[in-house]
């Protein structure tokens, strides 16, 4: 199953289907709402066959971009901004990494007193991985394994917003049962996207541990959280 999901994630990344799928669902909601309002289609509709296909693809892509941005923003507000520090802290402890002590020596105390010090460390790990890609095949392998996590997380965030769009449209037409179903689907997809986000962080930390073995056990290092 893991291999299948990995291949699906890579397929989404290559063809940007993370945008197309969410865009198609959002566009269908907008078309449904347009029809329910009883609005008259313009004279230039329908298009010629090839024109219609091209316009639908572009419309799906544009709607997908908007769905991704909106869905990712909601995910960050509802889930990511307050859990990133917890996930990073647990991952560091599980691997006995003393990088919090190291980051104390590299950054000013004013920065460390903020909650963004884990985000700074996470970005440092990403930068080191991307810097080592060209000269290390093992790094390339680990980076390729992270791509499906990002692609699937983006797909789920965009699809979650698309389901929210359907919920709003169906609410205006008083299909309340389908509103509930759409909301449940949105919650489920947000949750699945968050799981891929967690796995991405854990794999980044695991890779960093492999490249930078801990100097001292984590339980011997004072956490910066104690200074807050």
Task: Calculate helix-pair angle for 49-75, 176-211, nearest 10 degrees.
Answer: 70
Q: At what angle do helices 137-172 and 17-36 cross, to 10 degrees?
A: 10
pLDDT of residue 108: 46
- How high is the pLDDT of residue 222? 47
pLDDT at 2: 47
**What pLDDT was estimated at residue 215?**
46
Is 152 within 8 Å of 16 (Cβ atoms)? no
196, 149 in Cβ contact below 8 A?
A: yes
Each residue's pLDDT expressed in tens, for the chain with a length of 228 residues: 545 545 555 555 554 677 889 999 999 999 999 888 877 766 666 667 777 788 888 899 999 999 999 999 999 999 888 788 788 888 877 777 655 555 555 444 444 455 567 777 788 888 887 777 766 777 777 777 788 888 889 999 999 999 999 999 999 888 899 999 999 999 999 999 999 999 998 888 888 777 766 544 444 444 444 444
Burial-class residue 154 by CB neighbours within 10 Å (0-12, 13-18, 19+): buried
* Residue 45: per-residue pLDDT: 66
Q: Are 170 and 179 in contact (CB under 8 A)?
A: yes
Q: What pLDDT was estimated at residue 216?
A: 44
Cis amide prior to 56 (ω within 30 degrees): no
d(CA 198, CA 53): 37
In whole angstroms, what is the distance from residue 69 CA to residue 156 CA? 12
Distance CA 15, CA 109 (A): 44
Residue 16's pLDDT is 62
Among candidate residues 92, 118, 117, 106, the one with its CA nearest the CA of residue 209: 92
Instruction: Note the pLDDT of residue 132.
Output: 75
pLDDT at residue 42, as a whole number = 64
Domain definitions of the chain by residue range = 2-40+50-227
């Amino acid at each position: 199953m893991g291999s299948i999901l990995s291949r699906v994630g890579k397929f989404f990344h290559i063809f940007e289907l993370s945008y197309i799928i969410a865009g198609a669902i959002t566009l269908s909601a907008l078309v449904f709402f347009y029809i329910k309002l009883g609005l008259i289609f313009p004279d230039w509709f329908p298009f010629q066959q090839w024109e219609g296909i091209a316009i639908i693809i572009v419309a799906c892509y544009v709607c997908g971009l908007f769905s991704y941005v909106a869905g990712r923003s909601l995910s960050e507000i509802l889930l990511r901004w307050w859990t990133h520090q917890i996930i990073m802290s647990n991952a560091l402890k599980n691997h006995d990494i003393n990088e919090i002590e190291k980051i104390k020596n590299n950054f000013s105390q004013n920065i460390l007193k903020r909650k963004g010090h884990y985000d700074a460390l996470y970005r440092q790990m990403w930068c080191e991985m991307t810097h080592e890609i060209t000269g290390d095949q093992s790094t390339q392998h680990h980076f390729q394994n992270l791509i499906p996590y990002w692609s699937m997380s983006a797909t789920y965030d965009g699809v979650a917003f698309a389901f929210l769009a359907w919920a709003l449209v169906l609410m205006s037409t008083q299909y309340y049962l389908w509103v509930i179903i759409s909301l449940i689907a949105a919650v489920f997809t947000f949750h699945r996207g968050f799981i891929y986000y967690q796995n991405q962080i854990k794999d980044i930390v695991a890779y960093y541990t492999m490249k930078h073995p801990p100097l001292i056990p984590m339980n011997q290092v004072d956490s910066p959280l104690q200074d807050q």
